[in-house]
A and B are shown apart, each in its own frame.
Chain A
Amino acid sequence: MAKLRIQFENGDPEKVIEFDPSKAPFHHDGKPGSILDLMLGHGIHLEHACGGNCACTTCHVIVKQGFNKLGESSEQEEDLLDHAPGLTPTSRLGCQAVIDDPNAEIVIVVPRYTINQVSEAAEE
């Protein structure tokens, strides 16, 4: 079984999901088997304003462990991450980061600031 440990920068209690990647999809938004798919399928909220279509950065997560176990990011995901507030070298979009290794142990942090910077900067 693969394991996803989810920590929240805002202090919410940590959640742990143990799952069989071959059972994906778990919900209906984001790539099947993605962090977003997993979290929604286990009743854990992760913002995904664009519906999990790789068109915004609201599902930005920071991978603390197991970054190399995730499926590769696309150029489109990288282009969007350029705009993510609090970008780190191990940032991913939850809707695109797929866990397909049955032995993966992934730890992520959901940033406190999950609303797009441009949104926050909406005009007066």
Chain B
Amino acid sequence: MTPDASRPAASKRSTLSARVERIFDHAPNTRSLFLSSTTGKSFRFVPGQFISISIPLGDETRSRPYTIASSPTDAGPFEICFNRVPGGRGVDWLFERRVGDKVDFAGPFGTFTLDVDPALNVELGFIAEGTAIAPIRPMLKRALAGPGPRAKMHLIYAAQDREHILYRNELDELAHTASNFSYETVIAPPDKTYDRLRELINARWIVADTDRARQFYICGVGDGVIKLRDLLRGSGYERRAVHYERW
């Protein structure tokens, strides 16, 4: 067989369709689309999973992942959240969608999901930056909704400025109503974000005590995520206690 980059790969994926029900701009170049399945059935997923959207680019279709930012228990459409990135043709296409447009997708996919029973009383640490709060948000809601004894949970959330701290009111409300949940924000320029996160993680979860039973969920972009993973794993936390998704 000979290479043919112009030829779309034979596709066997079964796609679903959704309609854009609502658009919400969190901040300049940061948007949520609220999607409802065109089959009329609710779309089932696990907090932390993503869908793979079919995006027409030129004469071919590419699939690109977008994490579901809403909870399976939320009524109505499900939400994806994304921001514009330089050269991101797929996300440009998403920004062009309007209410009523159809979006084809497959999924849900992904194994970055909350697999700790909150009733086990294992402390959970969540770390996110910018739109990478998307998988953490439904995980937090799930963890805080469970019955029984509540594990302590803390979120460290970084963004380049205040307006890019998404779901701020909701996080405030969760911290107010759930005594076992707290969060802090970090405002830092993109080239300093992971240095600041590293400092905070080190202070809170490494040098403060010898407890190494915590579980972590980290989501972000680039090698900084890997450095945070290595920091925690290198400090005595079990490999499988440090969950991460790096985009």
Contact = CB atoms under 8 A, between A and B. Distances in A.
Nearest to A80: B111
B159 to A, nearest CB: 21
Interface of A: 15-19, 23, 26-29, 39-51, 53-58, 75-76, 79-80, 82-83, 115-119, 121-124
Interface residues of B, number: 39
Interface of B: 1-5, 7-13, 44-46, 49-50, 52, 62-65, 72, 106-113, 226, 229, 239-240, 244-247
Contacts, number: 110
A54 B244 CA distance: 12
A15 B245 contact: no
Contacts of A76: 226, 246
A46 B245 CA distance: 22
B109 A29 contact: no
15 contacts: A17-B1, A23-B3, A40-B9, A45-B9, A49-B52, A49-B106, A49-B110, A50-B50, A53-B65, A56-B110, A58-B109, A118-B111, A119-B107, A119-B108, A122-B45
Chain B CB within 10 Å, residue with most, of A18, A40, A75, A119: A119
B109 A51 contact: no
A119 B247 contact: no
A49 B5 contact: no
Given A46-B9, A79-B244, A121-B46, 6 more contacts: A39-B9, A42-B2, A43-B9, A44-B9, A49-B65, A118-B110
